[in-house]
């Protein structure tokens, strides 16, 4: 996985609640066993019309959100089946962060295992964030993983409203993301310590 410490990017607003894994990646695309190509079909039934052309009204397809690495979605993101392909599709499309006010537990785990950072914020902050993006599609958003902070660049500051929010992450997964480790990489990073521990306890 790629190392993740800090990201500054624009974001795509997708203020839809209860987005499930079948909407993220429809079941008919689950036959493949590797991650290649899943990004092409993320939100397939929403991104494309019935005749196969891009739906210009779907947020991801709008030119003002092109290149955004952050997806800001409604409450209860990633519910439904446990398919890891949903995380593959989001990462394959180019997103590095998903922000919501709640994530399904299995999706959250799958996301973290694939280098996708799921950030849970309060419903109030999510509303502010979506409003800021809608008002300015070029709004820079900073994700600081080391300090576990998400921040909008200056919007609302003159009104005394919140531009910053803290978020929680499992400490082990935080270490893995910062260092670009999967579970095996993490164990290998502890090889010297493990060998030293075993050596101390060897009985001759």
* 165/74 Cα distance (integer angstroms): 17
What percent helix, strand, coil does the chain show, rounded to 5?
Answer: 40, 20, 40
Look at residue 202 and tell me whether its pLDDT is greater than 90. no
pLDDT class of 74 with cuts at 50, 70, 90:
very high
Mean pLDDT over 124-138 rounds to 92
pLDDT tens string 54-73: 999 999 999 999 999 999 99
- Residues of the chain with pLDDT > 90, as a percent, come to 77
Domains recognised in the chain with CATH numbers: 6-169 (3.20.19.10), 171-203 (no CATH)
Using CA atoms of 156, 137, 40, 127 in order, give the dihedral in degrees to the nearest 10. Answer: 30
Place of tokens 């006010």: 101
Report the DSSP beta bridge partners of residue 36.
Answer: none
Q: Which of left, alpha, beta for 56 (phi over 0: left; psi -120 to 50: alpha)?
A: alpha
Look at residue 204 and tell me whether its pLDDT is greater than 60. no
Name the least confident of 24-33, 84-93, 94-103.
24-33
Look at residue 148 and tell me whether its pLDDT is greater than 90. yes
């Amino acid at each position: 996985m790629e190392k993740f410490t800090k990201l500054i990017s624009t974001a795509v607003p997708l203020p839809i609640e209860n987005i499930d894994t079948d909407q993220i990646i429809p079941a008919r695309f689950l036959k493949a066993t590797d991650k290649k190509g899943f990004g092409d079909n993320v939100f397939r039934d929403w991104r494309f019309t019935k005749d196969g052309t891009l739906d210009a009204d779907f947020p991801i397809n709008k030119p003002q959100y092109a290149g955004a690495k952050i997806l800001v979605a409604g409450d209860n993101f990633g519910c439904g089946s446990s398919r890891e392909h949903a995380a593959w599709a989001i990462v394959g499309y180019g997103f590095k962060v998903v922000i919501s006010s709640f994530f399904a537990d299995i999706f959250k785990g799958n996301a973290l295992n694939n280098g996708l950072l799921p950030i849970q914020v309060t419903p109030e902050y999510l509303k502010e964030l979506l409003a800021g993006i809608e008002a300015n599609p070029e709004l820079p958003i900073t994700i600081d993983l080391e300090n576990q902070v998400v921040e909008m660049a200056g919007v609302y500051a003159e009104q005394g409203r919140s531009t910053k929010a803290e978020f929680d992450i499992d400490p082990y997964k935080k270490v893995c993301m910062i260092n670009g480790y999967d579970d095996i990489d993490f164990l290998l990073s502890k090889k010297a310590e493990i060998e030293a521990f075993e050596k101390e306890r060897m009985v001759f």
